[in-house]
Structure 1
């Protein structure tokens, strides 16, 4: 086993999926048709759930497989997931659930596995909601099969299935095959008439089915009274009937078997299994016993475990002999024993070869390890009671998993290992420190670093230095995630001064952290050169996060310095990298999408901004550094306010408050609190705004950052204007403008100048307000600042209109160089025409202008009741393109279903205007 742990395959991406779990068993033998049960299952197409339950060997899987085949032949979208005990890990179950759906419809659930891996424990709601939304766009039935559900005992996994059932669209139907009814909301589904049940009594073969099975399928020549005796003794238990047929075929003692008609079903099964096995050649029995330690079998794996080079032929022979060996794929590469028979074989193995079991598991562990199946290798190493080897396997692949953002897989593997076995593994502890840091588990990360630093003290000098310096880098990352910057740059300095000694991952992260320190210090000019030099390391990391973060930080610096065009290029580049490497719905894409969405909102590209910001809100507690959170929550809130939905705007800000409190991010909490002040004032609630700001002032500390002071000063200025003391606000804003100019914060300077114009006007300085605003507009709009102007609403528009009228009336005599430029005129025009897909301040929507010509065509066909395929044929486009158009239409109309889209289009009378 030492060889497995030492194999150098860390450069290969781990293979966390077992594809055979996503396919039903492949039966090429003759099966008993069960038309009455199939007809019962057909009722599921008008229900949410079909539950097929009964003891082992009653044909649950066979029945489900038969109906799966019929549905598939009829063209219905069908997904299969054979759960096992490993699926008690919630993240693993979610990952397989997503891939099961995608195996039937590849366009669904894109990037969700990356979200699950990067956000262990917090992705459930988003994953289920995304699957439900994708399924609702599927214009046909979708049937999901969950086999062996009884193997799942974890309550969180049960709750996930219940969530899926409670939120499922009408076209989703779930079929569960299980030995129990645990974890399913049966009472509620019965009351809702959404449940179909097939229990053990209905699964039992009746006499005619038993006779057909034994005489026609198994070709046994039995007297009528013998048939009756077998049927009664087995009680129609399918597995026992199969064992009986094998016993009668292999044994010469037919009379003894036929006369043995008493006892419980389990006793009959044990007796018949022994009769079957005892009549096989000893070499064949030995092969079956040794391979019973495996959950799934292929020729190469069995050869490694048993030493038999002809294992593939042996498996084929066992299948032909009907030795309860079930093919798991159509190519018949993988097999498994029937659960009932596997348990029997394993019990006999424990009795006859107890001294062989450890070696069998070790051989299996080595085989899986050499092929990158770390989870399977670890499982068998632990079953062999070789804990140190299991730890070595996890340690070998740990950083590879971190770099690929497979945090969930790594932490799940670690959770299977005894904690004490991890204490002397510095590289594994380092990987744990990275994984827990990047998932905002600071305390666990610091505990792992404590072990790293403890172990480093006993290491050779060179190794000690490398361990301690990388540990400093993790500490720096923890501090940045906690929004604590003091001293951080010094922590990453050792890595950046010795880049050739560290992995590309460590160098890339260290460079990103230094760039972030520059951003927080307003040293924006240093960021781009640093990121350019670090790009080679970022792009050498196998995963995507380092490259995405680097480009995002480059964009934040550019945006803060007022270079919005450069920022857009960087954010878009980060999105492109994330989508190309991890998928459009990946965690990395959502991080980049938060910043790009914020910028698109500022540029008044509201429909695109809303899609990106809606996705980024799913990040929850795994939303990166504070800047990503503020981009998401503040811009999403402003979108809702722009739609006229102040209640939803405040709800979004409450999400931000909850996140800030949970992660102890004071800067985020202050940002969302001050934005709540803005929302309250927009609604005229001055008293509510005062209360919020008073609470913020109470929390403020002398050591608070410049950003915190800016948030509070801005909120105070708005409140002073609302109270009628705008003169005081003017003083505050002038001081903030001077500070922003001094720090090189061009974006902040322009935003403050906009608010200053409003405050001056409210203070009676109309002429100065006009001059200040026109100067700001001419500078801000070409950069892309549009919403920061328009979101000030009627007070700002009034100043603009007055300045326009004044300039029209007096022309060159307007005085002091005041002129109403084309830029200012453009801004006024934009203010009169709400952007695509968003409600204006009054709550009204634009009409056909919201939709492109092709979207309008799709909507017209949708109103006619056309399916996606019919729409695709009518417009000569692909079905996937139709789905893409529908998603856009849903966003623009603010709906989530096809029926709602039609209703909303009629309400708005969209089709009265030409397409």
Structure 2
């Protein structure tokens, strides 16, 4: 067999290398002799040993699987079977690639595969616990494609499990270990021998059936089950061979059904797919791996997750998706996806050379917080960063890559992209932050950055973040976000910024703190040795040293100029004349050399290049749409192979032109055929729209000067984005649109209103509604559409009023047309608002009517639609002291929230806050503490008055009751800030009242206002009443604290008026007022009057199991209760 190295290479090895190789023995020594360095055993199986080695010829780490010498014939067959399987499946993005095969000097066969430092999913599961269900579904889609490729070639894997799915350095799953795969009618596999891992083996295989594709589907589903739950469906954690399992154990595994994953927060849509694939009867499972993968993709669509591509063999289109009705779940559309190429460095080209001079500089500064690689276009900045990333990854350092673009001027989108980049290499980090950004947008920027820094620091593991093309970001907000990361980050977060200038970066401060390494234009220029390495040794040009020097002098060491020169010089018989004419500054050199490259191309190929550089990235389908060429894939491959500034990305599906090359081609096209440029942009927009890449579709519609199309695209997706809680994405797209064209689009303005209402921006909601009503008045649509628009505008206004805690009367139109609204979701929202309004007016009968109306409309909607109505009805029941009903409604609200859904986290936390408040009143302090702590810790919350009152008001009272004054002060500070930012007097009054109760200082102006309050008068609404009563409560307690007879008498007068004026239907408020009045009377020495005033309130509290209103009433309450001879429950 021919050795991979020739004799000359072997003779040239250094003595030092030979000495190192002499240190190894046995198999390791054989691998060293075969050309590998530093073999280290990393795994051992029944018939082979896996070594991690360095392959010096290609400067990479590889995994070498060697067949041991003591195995029998069957194991050798299995080893060769795996070799054959991996060879036939070469090229699939989700199957481990075989780099080459050979035998050692003693005849041991071995396979060489990539070495992935992150290991298998089993290793990840054991290290970090169960994975997020969206990540598991993504793995399932991709491995389903891998199995489909194997099945198409007649192979059944037979051992799909977490340990046989590896994670690449880019976080992509790859199926491995085809050692026991079955090939068609392979005679070496006997039905009597059952292979595989029990916990992941299909039941029919346990009974001796022939392995089929359905068995692999079962194994993949069982794998996904274990990744989400932490255990296999059969709850058998062992991984030994099936031949070691007893018959009884096999029967138990085969008969057992999987536990319900819904208890792990997995949506019903995903559970349904997995349960079907885990069916005991193989006829009930998906018919193929492709069908299973498509069902998982459908589940991703239904749960609002990005839909992963599934690489399947020989199919231009995926198999038909199962009908929507087959998979249960809320029909929430996914957000506009972004290309995976944004998060990957450009692929290495054949002519790229290592630059150890610069890599050594990076190595010396790798512990610093910032490495800045700055210089003009084409100086090799990205290439250097990519080399550094590969070097770090080979050492096991997680490296996140983000290529910036103009969309990152939107700070929310930038942070979304940044978090996605980090989570691709550290999936346990920042799980909740993207949803927080979408729902709170720029309001959450500082919180997101702080949380991200804290999570990375607490993990104690370094991560390197490389941001390429930073010069494409110009917004103050995004640059401020990056500055915050640099100034407040720790040494576990190391940032590499690649850009053209230093603007917007806090480099001076970092330099003073010795936290900066900068590689500038001077350092980036190719030196003589690097120029010679690139032009002569790597590119193969026959140039003498003087000619190399001239090229370097003319290009001034500019990497792009050298690359263009290399292309122009290739194939020239006499390069001297060309080199002598090289001159000029960078721009002139670039223009001249690019023209020389283009003039040598076939005109049809040049037309294709000009057509396909209109977009920032290109794939075969998009290229066909732009150029009309059906051979686009072949042409793209040819262009990439010829190094015509086109690089493969994203597992060869996507390509990316060098920006300088693309810019020049576009300038050329604009000069030669300017009318064709907008045509190409229009084609690009249509393609991106068809593929649900909305942002790109809008950008190219605008570039095509088709602003109407851009507006229409956003309008057609607006409600989908709002329904998916993608408020920030929608508002970012709206900012791109020319305002004159949106003025007459009432639907867009209404959606802007919805989005800003969800983000708590009242002024912007009201402005959007004014624009919507103006558009309707200027150009009324036909009925009933016109009426529906007006009702929707009134509904949004009412919801904004509720969220801002103003509770203005709900417009009559909201209820008058409720039964004629075409959308049951809108009708339910109108009924919910009407019920909340009735509660605010203390009309409990009307509230019950509208609550029943909510339930009527909810029959055709998700149970989640009833979460808020149940919360409000629970609050009303608590106000009436119907504690059993309040608990029942809060429990119903909790049950209505889909488990694991990030879209409803804000509403779910409302239930926690309100139930926590009730548990406090019941004296169940431990439960209350758990609920209120969770509500306060939530990064996404509804921001409504009732939520804030319970979370920060009751939360502070609970902390004080437990002696934690520091936490109480902290919570009151947060509540005070919310009250000021959101202009909520009720919340401000509650925060002041809690400070007075605890004995904390309050501002002098607040104290002066409280002492001058007139006596209480009955208020028309619950919000106004609560605000006024809290102020009166605070004033009374301040008077009691003075201790003088005059102050005590004034307190008695205020408290007596409070009891007299509070509406009788507000039983809870009346109890609090009566208890406070009793405390005032007791302080005045009127003991009998105090007992008389307190008795009905104390009795009610005892009857309803509410000890805390008594305990919190005020000074003297314990003496009053003792004098009454009543014994209230104390709670915890």
Alignment TM class, shorter chain as reference: 0.7 to 0.9
Decide which of 688, 691, 706 is 2:1008's aligned counterpart.
691
Retained in 1: the 8 A contact 2:913–2:932?
no
Retained in 1: the 8 A contact 2:333–2:724?
no
Q: Does 1:721 align with 2:1040?
A: yes
Q: Does 1:207 align with 2:528?
A: yes
What secondary structure sits across from 2:557 in the alignment?
coil
- Note the alpha carbon deviations across 1:492-535, whole angstroms, 9 max, x for none: 1034222xx33233223212211211221234566567446535
Looking at structure 1, the residues matched to 667 and 340 of structure 2 have their Cα atoms a distance apart, in angstroms, of 28
Decide which of 886, 902, 909 is 1:583's aligned counterpart.
902
Q: Does 1:678 align with 2:678?
A: no
Could you say which residue in structure 1 is the equivalent of 2:471?
150
Decide which of 817, 820, 838 is 2:1127's aligned counterpart.
820
Could you say which residue in structure 1 is the equivalent of 2:709?
389
1:416 to partner: Cα distance: 1.3
- Note the alpha carbon deviations across 1:744-800, whole angstroms, 9 max, x for none: x34334444554454444344567767987986675478674655555688556767
Q: Does 1:436 align with 2:756?
A: yes
Decide which of 673, 690, 694 is 1:374's aligned counterpart.
694
Could you say which residue in structure 2 is the equivalent of 1:343?
663
| Structure 1 residues 615 and 685: alpha-carbon distance in aligned structure 2, compared to 1, 3 A threshold | closer
Q: Does 1:480 align with 2:787?
A: no
Looking at structure 2, the residues matched to 251 and 601 of structure 1 have their Cα atoms a distance apart, in angstroms, of 86
Could you say which residue in structure 2 is the equivalent of 1:809?
none
| Structure 1 residues 205 and 781: alpha-carbon distance in aligned structure 2, compared to 1, 3 A threshold | farther
Looking at structure 2, the residues matched to 731 and 685 of structure 1 have their Cα atoms a distance apart, in angstroms, of 23
Q: Which has the higher helix share?
A: 1
The equivalences for 1:58-77 within 5 A come to 58-77=379-398
| Structure 1 residues 701 and 557: alpha-carbon distance in aligned structure 2, compared to 1, 3 A threshold | closer
Could you say which residue in structure 2 is the equivalent of 1:186?
507
Decide which of 38, 53, 56 is 2:374's aligned counterpart.
53
Count of residue correspondences: 793
Decide which of 762, 782, 786 is 1:460's aligned counterpart.
782
1:623 to partner: Cα distance: 4.4
Looking at structure 1, the residues matched to 1015 and 536 of structure 2 have their Cα atoms a distance apart, in angstroms, of 86
1:460 to partner: Cα distance: 2.1
The equivalences for 1:895-910 within 5 A come to none
Structure 1, unpaired ranges of 5+: 1-8, 807-815, 831-915
- Note the alpha carbon deviations across 1:305-348, whole angstroms, 9 max, x for none: 1111222222222221112223332x121222122222112111
What secondary structure sits across from 1:17 in the alignment?
coil
Could you say which residue in structure 1 is the equivalent of 2:441?
120
Q: Does 1:238 align with 2:559?
A: yes
Looking at structure 2, the residues matched to 165 and 126 of structure 1 have their Cα atoms a distance apart, in angstroms, of 15
Looking at structure 1, the residues matched to 411 and 1017 of structure 2 have their Cα atoms a distance apart, in angstroms, of 40
What secondary structure sits across from 1:335 in the alignment?
strand
Q: Does 1:553 align with 2:872?
A: yes
Decide which of 253, 276, 284 is 2:597's aligned counterpart.
276
Looking at structure 2, the residues matched to 543 and 227 of structure 1 have their Cα atoms a distance apart, in angstroms, of 73
Retained in 2: the 8 A contact 1:673–1:692?
no
| Structure 1 residues 716 and 472: alpha-carbon distance in aligned structure 2, compared to 1, 3 A threshold | same
- Note the alpha carbon deviations across 1:639-677, whole angstroms, 9 max, x for none: 564576768756754554554444443333333343443
What secondary structure sits across from 2:596 in the alignment?
helix
| Structure 1 residues 820 and 567: alpha-carbon distance in aligned structure 2, compared to 1, 3 A threshold | closer
| Structure 1 residues 689 and 379: alpha-carbon distance in aligned structure 2, compared to 1, 3 A threshold | closer
Decide which of 93, 98, 102 is 2:419's aligned counterpart.
98
Decide which of 588, 606, 627 is 1:267's aligned counterpart.
588
* Bigger shift: residues 705-714 or 622-631: 622-631
What secondary structure sits across from 1:121 in the alignment?
helix
Looking at structure 1, the residues matched to 993 and 1013 of structure 2 have their Cα atoms a distance apart, in angstroms, of 8
- Note the alpha carbon deviations across 1:865-914, whole angstroms, 9 max, x for none: xxxxxxxxxxxxxxxxxxxxxxxxxxxxxxxxxxxxxxxxxxxxxxxxxx
Retained in 1: the 8 A contact 2:989–2:1030?
yes
Looking at structure 1, the residues matched to 418 and 441 of structure 2 have their Cα atoms a distance apart, in angstroms, of 15
Q: Does 1:32 align with 2:353?
A: yes
* Bigger shift: residues 284-293 or 708-717: 708-717
* Bigger shift: residues 698-707 or 213-222: 698-707
Looking at structure 1, the residues matched to 772 and 530 of structure 2 have their Cα atoms a distance apart, in angstroms, of 65
1:289 to partner: Cα distance: 0.8
Retained in 2: the 8 A contact 1:77–1:141?
yes
Looking at structure 1, the residues matched to 1112 and 639 of structure 2 have their Cα atoms a distance apart, in angstroms, of 74
Q: Does 1:361 align with 2:681?
A: yes
Retained in 2: the 8 A contact 1:395–1:427?
yes
What secondary structure sits across from 1:424 in the alignment?
coil
Relative contact order, higher structure (CA 8 A, sep 6+): 1
1:83 to partner: Cα distance: 0.8
Could you say which residue in structure 2 is the equivalent of 1:417?
737
The equivalences for 1:657-676 within 5 A come to 657-676=976-995
* Bigger shift: residues 480-489 or 313-322: 480-489
Could you say which residue in structure 1 is the equivalent of 2:457?
136
Looking at structure 2, the residues matched to 703 and 661 of structure 1 have their Cα atoms a distance apart, in angstroms, of 24
Could you say which residue in structure 1 is the equivalent of 2:949?
630
Retained in 2: the 8 A contact 1:686–1:723?
no
| Structure 1 residues 448 and 555: alpha-carbon distance in aligned structure 2, compared to 1, 3 A threshold | same
1:600 to partner: Cα distance: 5.4
Could you say which residue in structure 2 is the equivalent of 1:835?
none
Looking at structure 2, the residues matched to 423 and 726 of structure 1 have their Cα atoms a distance apart, in angstroms, of 62
Could you say which residue in structure 1 is the equivalent of 2:172?
none
TM-score (norm 1): 0.79
Looking at structure 1, the residues matched to 511 and 1055 of structure 2 have their Cα atoms a distance apart, in angstroms, of 63
Decide which of 111, 114, 122 is 2:432's aligned counterpart.
111
Retained in 1: the 8 A contact 2:335–2:726?
no
* Bigger shift: residues 421-430 or 146-155: 421-430
Looking at structure 1, the residues matched to 451 and 673 of structure 2 have their Cα atoms a distance apart, in angstroms, of 50
Decide which of 172, 175, 184 is 2:496's aligned counterpart.
175
Decide which of 594, 603, 607 is 1:286's aligned counterpart.
607
What secondary structure sits across from 1:820 in the alignment?
coil
Larger Rg: 2
| Structure 1 residues 91 and 601: alpha-carbon distance in aligned structure 2, compared to 1, 3 A threshold | farther
1:703 to partner: Cα distance: 7.0
Looking at structure 2, the residues matched to 740 and 139 of structure 1 have their Cα atoms a distance apart, in angstroms, of 57
Retained in 2: the 8 A contact 1:489–1:514?
no
What secondary structure sits across from 2:957 in the alignment?
helix
Looking at structure 1, the residues matched to 644 and 884 of structure 2 have their Cα atoms a distance apart, in angstroms, of 68
* Bigger shift: residues 200-209 or 480-489: 480-489
| Structure 1 residues 488 and 199: alpha-carbon distance in aligned structure 2, compared to 1, 3 A threshold | same
What secondary structure sits across from 1:33 in the alignment?
coil
What secondary structure sits across from 2:466 in the alignment?
strand
| Structure 1 residues 20 and 578: alpha-carbon distance in aligned structure 2, compared to 1, 3 A threshold | farther
Could you say which residue in structure 2 is the equivalent of 1:469?
791
| Structure 1 residues 609 and 754: alpha-carbon distance in aligned structure 2, compared to 1, 3 A threshold | farther
Looking at structure 2, the residues matched to 59 and 585 of structure 1 have their Cα atoms a distance apart, in angstroms, of 46
Looking at structure 1, the residues matched to 415 and 462 of structure 2 have their Cα atoms a distance apart, in angstroms, of 21
- Note the alpha carbon deviations across 1:87-109, whole angstroms, 9 max, x for none: 11112112212222222222322
What secondary structure sits across from 2:611 in the alignment?
helix
- Note the alpha carbon deviations across 1:257-313, whole angstroms, 9 max, x for none: 222342223322222221112111111111111111101111111111111122222
Looking at structure 2, the residues matched to 767 and 346 of structure 1 have their Cα atoms a distance apart, in angstroms, of 93
